[in-house]
């Protein structure tokens, strides 16, 4: 079976789905690997390194896609709604696509892929279980996003993060407030602490309190009555409008006195909840910084402009898009490990064998046999 890795077409995407070091394991499993010429260049993985590991380099993109039994990508259709129609037309019936696809946000596109008789696996739907931990690409990318967000904040802030005791006096440490203590939030906490900031964090899931405190941050507890805080996959669940309004009110004082706020709150398949209204931004001290990791889904801050860095009434608001692609070497390394481990989980003697009773295979499978097979995607299509 031929595994094809085309060059990413999403504007500014610098990651690649496989790196040379992951190719040999696929070949050892009986698969053939072909890379589109230049696919890894933006991540500093030249064609010759892929060839040295046994991969074939293909110059013609559509010829590569037409030959492929399995296509590995970072941003597939759905995660990139303007995915080229010519690429989809080139894929042969019955081939398998594994990538990020935003299936809950783009169920219509998933239905189109199913109608094309493609087998589609979404890396977003990987179960958050111990068995699937090495395949959890969302967590890998969130780790990078949390780290990079703090560096962006430190670079933009007019203040130093750590405490300095100098002959010119003592510099007090910056105060950082992290909203959302998932993987990205925890990495943001750890990075801000390493830089010497005083860190507080809030999450609607009380279960993360111990993790927050283990990183040296203070867990902020608000008197809020929430519904079920997380789903069976460990992701935060959407709450009521009244809940978010009350949350905004209780957090306003802490945000007002913070030098940096990092927001990470996201709900799969939905617009990001607004946690920081415009009037709270206006109450912050001039020079304060907000880095809104959730900008790609609309943002947690009311004034965020996705993809831009703005100054709103003296407050610096950064809305990064595709933040993981800014660290393409290690982002590609982590993603390649996730996706190749997942693929090898399903390969037996050089063939792709789908065990639809297996929780990992079933959990990530969106389309197969000409129809949508993931119930959450089917439900999203009906809404």
Q: Is 122 a catalytic residue?
A: no
Annotation marks residue 53 as catalytic: no
Residues 129, 375, 298, CA angle at the centre, nearest 5°? Answer: 80
Query: Cβ distance 42 to 19 under 8 Å?
Result: no
Q: Show the CA angle centred on residue 109, arms to residues 103 and 112, nearest 5°.
A: 125
Check if 247 is active-site: no
Considering 24, 49, 128, 193, which one is annotated as catalytic?
128
196 and 316 share a domain? Answer: yes
153: which 2 tokens? Answer: 């904040």
CATH number at residue 240: 3.40.50.720
Assess whether 202 and 96 both reside in one domain: no
Residues of the chain whose pLDDT is less than 70? 223-240, 244, 383
Look at residue 238 in the predicted model and tell me its pLDDT.
Answer: 59
Q: What is the pLDDT of residue 81?
A: 84
Specify whether 36 is located in the same domain as 97: yes
Question: Is the residue at 255 inside a domain?
Answer: yes
Examine residue 377 and state whether it is found in any structural domain, yes or no: no
Query: Looking at 60, 89, 133, 285, which residue is catalytic?
Result: 133
Give domain status of residue 28, yes or no: yes
Termini Cα distance of the chain: 38
pLDDT of residue 224: 57
Tell me: do 130 and 228 sit in the same domain: no
Record the pTM: 0.92
The reply to whether 208 and 240 lie within a common domain is yes
Length of the chain, please? 383
Residues 308 and 164 in one domain: yes
24 lies in the same domain as 165: no
CA distances from 359 to 46, 99, 120, 244, 266 (A): 36, 18, 16, 33, 24
* Options 106, 139, 258, 288, the catalytic residue: 139
Flag whether 53 is in a domain. yes
Residues 163 and 306 in one domain: yes
In a domain, 273, yes or no: yes
Helix/strand/coil (H/E/C) assignment for every residue in the chain: CEEEECCCCCCCCCCCCCCHHHHHHHHHCCCEEEEECCCCHHHCCCHHHHHHCCCEEECCHHHHHHHCCEEEEEECCCCCCCCCHHHHHHCCCCCEEEEECCCCCCHHHHHHHHHCCCEEEEHHHCCCCCCCHHHCHHHHHHHHHHHHHHHHHHHHCCCCCCCEEECCEEECCCEEEEECCCHHHHHHHHHHHHCCCEEEEECCCHHHHHHHHHCCCEECCCCCCCCCCECCCCCECCCCHHHHHHHHHHHHHHHHCCCEEEECCCCCCCCCCCCECHHHHHHCCCCCEEEEHHHHHCCCECCCCCCCEEEECCEEEECCCCHHHHCHHHHHHHHHHHHHHHHHHHEECCEECCCCCCHHHHHHEEEECCEECCHHHHHHHHC
Q: Is residue 378 part of a domain?
A: no
Q: Is 134 a catalytic residue?
A: no
The parent domain of residue 337 ranges over 2-136+327-371
* pLDDT value of position 41: 98
Pair (152, 68) in one structural domain: no
pLDDT tens, position by position, 323-347: 999 999 999 999 999 999 999 999 9
Q: How many domains does the chain have?
A: 2
User: Does a structural domain hold residue 366?
Assistant: yes
Q: Are residues 332 and 226 in the same domain?
A: no
- Out of 15, 136, 324, 332, the active site residue is 136
Looking at the structure, tell me whether residues 270 and 155 fall in a common domain.
Answer: yes
Question: Phi/psi at 101 (nearest 5 deg)?
Answer: -135, -5
Q: Known catalytic residue: 133?
A: yes
Mark whether 166 and 183 lie in a shared domain.
Answer: yes
Per annotation, catalytic residue among 21, 87, 193, 235: 235
- CA dist 280 and 352 (Å) reads 53
pLDDT tens, position by position, 4-33: 999 999 999 999 999 999 999 999 999 999
Cβ neighbours around 104 below 10 Å, total: 23
Residue 192 lies in a domain: yes
């Amino acid at each position: 079976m031929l595994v094809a890795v085309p060059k990413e077409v999403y504007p500014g995407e610098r990651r690649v789905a496989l790196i040379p070091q992951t190719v040999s394991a696929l070949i050892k499993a009986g698969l053939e690997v072909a890379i589109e010429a230049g696919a890894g260049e933006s991540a500093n993985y030249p064609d010759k390194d892929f060839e040295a590991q046994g991969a074939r380099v293909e110059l013609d993109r559509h010829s590569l896609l037409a030959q492929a039994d399995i296509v590995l990508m970072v941003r597939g259709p759905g995660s990139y709604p303007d995915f080229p129609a010519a690429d989809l037309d080139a894929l042969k019936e019955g081939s398998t696509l594994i990538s990020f696809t935003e299936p809950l946000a783009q169920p219509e596109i998933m239905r189109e892929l199913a109608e094309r008789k493609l087998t589609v696996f979404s890396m977003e739907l990987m179960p958050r279980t111990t068995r699937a931990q090495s395949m959890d690409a969302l967590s890998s990318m969130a780790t990078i996003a949390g780290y990079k967000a703090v560096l962006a904040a430190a670079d933009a802030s007019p203040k130093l993060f750590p405490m300095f005791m100098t002959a010119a006096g003592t510099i007090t440490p910056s105060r950082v407030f992290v909203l959302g203590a998932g993987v990205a939030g925890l990495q943001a906490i750890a990075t801000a602490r390493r830089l010497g900031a005083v860190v507080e964090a809030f999450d609607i899931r009380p279960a993360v309190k111990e993790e927050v405190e283990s990183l040296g941050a203070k867990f902020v507890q608000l008197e809020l009555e929430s519904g079920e805080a997380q789903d069976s996959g460990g992701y935060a669940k959407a709450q009521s409008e009244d809940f978010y309004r009350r949350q905004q009110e209780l957090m306003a004082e802490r945000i007002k006195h913070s030098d940096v706020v990092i927001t990470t709150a996201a709900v799969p398949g939905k617009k990001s909840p607004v946690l920081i209204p415009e009037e709270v931004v206006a109450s912050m001290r001039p020079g304060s910084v907000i880095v809104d990791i959730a900008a790609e889904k609309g943002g947690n801050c009311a004034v965020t402009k996705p993809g831009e860095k703005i100054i709103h009434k003296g407050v610096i608001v950064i809305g990064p898009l595709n933040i993981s692609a800014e660290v393409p070497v290690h982002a590609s390394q982590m993603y390649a490990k996730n996706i190749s481990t997942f693929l090898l989980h399903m390969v037996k003697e050089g063939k792709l064998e789908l065990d639809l009773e297996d929780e990992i295979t079933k959990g990530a499978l969106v389309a197969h046999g000409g129809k949508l097979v993931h119930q959450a995607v089917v439900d999203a299509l009906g809404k």
